[in-house]
Amino acid sequence: VEAIDRQVVLYRSDDLLTWEFLSSFGPAGAVGGEWECPDLFPLRVDGTDETHWVLLVSLNPGAIAGGSGTQYFVGDFDGRTFTPHDGTPRVQADDVPGLHALNWLDFGHDCYAGVTFAGLDDDSRTLIAWMSNWDYARHMPFDADPPQRGRMTLPRRLSLVKVHGRLRVRQIPIGPPAGDSPTVVTEPVVVQSIRGACRIDLDVTPDGAAGFAVEFTDDNDSRVTLTYICAAQELTLDRQAAAHGFPPEFAGTVRLPVSPTPAVVPDDSAVVSLTIWLDRHAVEVYAENGTRVLTELIGSLDASSVRVSGQGAAVRVSMQLSDLAGATSRSPAAT
């Protein structure tokens, strides 16, 4: 499988020397940039024996957050031709509603050219991607300790799930499990003494609030803020206050559509559930059981605190905090 312009072409070979052309797919979906790094593989629907085929297509520019990104198509493959289940309109980079109607592996700026591998003991499919964007990759500052200029995403275990009758790719990061039992607090919450690298499993019940904010700060006043607006069912990530010394193209915010989970108890509020993986230079946010993902590079942030606060009213917060640097868990304290 390879990409040419805005098409994917499929070939087969018995000896890896002589190749037979099978078929092509596209242009379809996002076509505002060049296609590259395609990947075609079978994927099982969670909890069933049902299997479908997924075609990943990275493109640059023209992705959902601007610049580089990865769309995907779910369909069937008969050994020669890939046929998507859904219609395949062609969407240009300036058609924002059209882009939002497509399937995106990640809604952030910095998950690109991902490839999968298999052959593990549990017959799973795992993806890892380049954490950057061609809008600014050439101009990123160089890290002296350790010497590097780029990063990769967390490896992610893939599967398919049905959401409102539509198949979507689910991504579950491979890493340490959640920490101790959650602490539940109603009103603003501050967690002290996190050491930069952490996993936060967060359930927020708005209870009448218009939304809420999750703010990571360090002792140098660098800051990354996640803001959820209930009416829009949308999460916004702002990394501008943690982008000192970075290229101008790095500034800006990015949005992730996140639907709340319906309440279990009648007359109770719905719950917004997020799993956030944070380290010094990156944040990955997983929502809707891993079917909505946002990956962003950030400037240097040695996070020392995280604050969750309601907008217009107090919110009910259930939080599990895992300190990845020290492999210990810490509990929030109400203020």
Do strands 29-30 and 90-91 pair parallel, antiparallel, or not at all (unpaired)? parallel
Phi, psi dihedrals of residue 217, rounded to the nearest 5°:
-135, 160
Whole-number Cα distances in Å, 56 to 82, 136, 305: 12, 23, 37
Give the CATH number of the domain where residue 261 resides. Answer: 2.60.120.560
- Residue 66 forms beta bridges with which residues? none
The residue written with tokens 């379809």 in the block is 28
Domain boundary at 115, 142, 173, which? 173
Q: Give yes or no for a contact between 207 and 335, defined as CB atoms under 8 angstroms apart.
A: no
Residue 151 inside a domain? The answer is yes
CB proximity list for 248: less than 8 A, separation 6 or greater: none
Give residue-wise pLDDT tens across range 51-94: 999 999 999 999 999 999 999 999 999 999 999 998 889 999 99
Q: Does one domain contain both 212 and 242? A: yes
Residue 28 lies in a domain: yes
Cα–Cα distances (Å) from 144 to 94, 150, 250, in that order, read: 38, 12, 20
12 and 103 both lie in a single domain:
yes
Q: Is position 178 within any domain?
A: no
> Which pLDDT value is given to residue 103?
97
**Residue 260 sits in the same domain as residue 142:** no
283 and 156 share one domain:
no
Task: Give the domain-ending residue among 110, 145, 173.
Answer: 173
CA 239 vs CA 108, 135, 174, 249, 323: distances in Å? 11, 16, 24, 12, 21
- Say if 190 falls within a structural domain: yes
**What residue numbers bound the domain in which 59 lies?**
2-173
Say yes or no: 161 and 191 in one domain.
no
- The verdict on 159 and 193 lying in the same domain is no
Query: Bridge partners of 333?
Result: 190
Same domain for 250 and 146: no
Question: What CA–CA distance (Å, rounded) separates 313 from 322?
Answer: 27
DSSP 66: S
121 shares a domain with 99: yes
**The predicted structure's pLDDT at residue 82:** 98
Residue 120's contacts (CB-CB under 8 Å, 6 or more residues apart) are: 126
Residue 68 identity: S
Number of domains composing the chain: 2
pLDDT tens by residue, the chain, 335 residues: 999 999 999 999 999 999 999 999 999 999 999 999 999 999 999 999 999 999 999 999 999 999 999 999 999 999 999 999 988 899 999 999 999 999 999 999 999 999 999 887 777 899 999 999 999 998 888 777 777 778 999 999 999 999 988 999 999 999 877 766 666 666 666 565 677 688 999 999 988 899 999 999 888 888 899 999 999 999 999 998 887 778 888 888 899 999 998 866 555 678 999 999 998 889 999 999 999 999 999 887 777 888 898 998 888 888 888 877 654 333 333 32
Q: How far is it between the farthest Cα atoms of the chain?
A: 68
Q: Kindly state whether residues 132 and 261 are assigned to the same domain.
A: no
Q: Residue 35: beta bridge partners? A: 59
Same domain (yes/no): 193, 97: no
14 contact partners, CB below 8 Å, separation of at least 6 = none
pTM score, whole prediction: 0.91
Q: Are residues 167 and 194 in the same domain?
A: no
Indicate if 198 and 163 belong to the same structural domain: no
CATH code where residue 97 lies: 2.115.10.20
pLDDT at 329: 36
In a domain, 293, yes or no: yes
In whole angstroms, what is the distance from residue 264 CA to residue 141 CA? 47
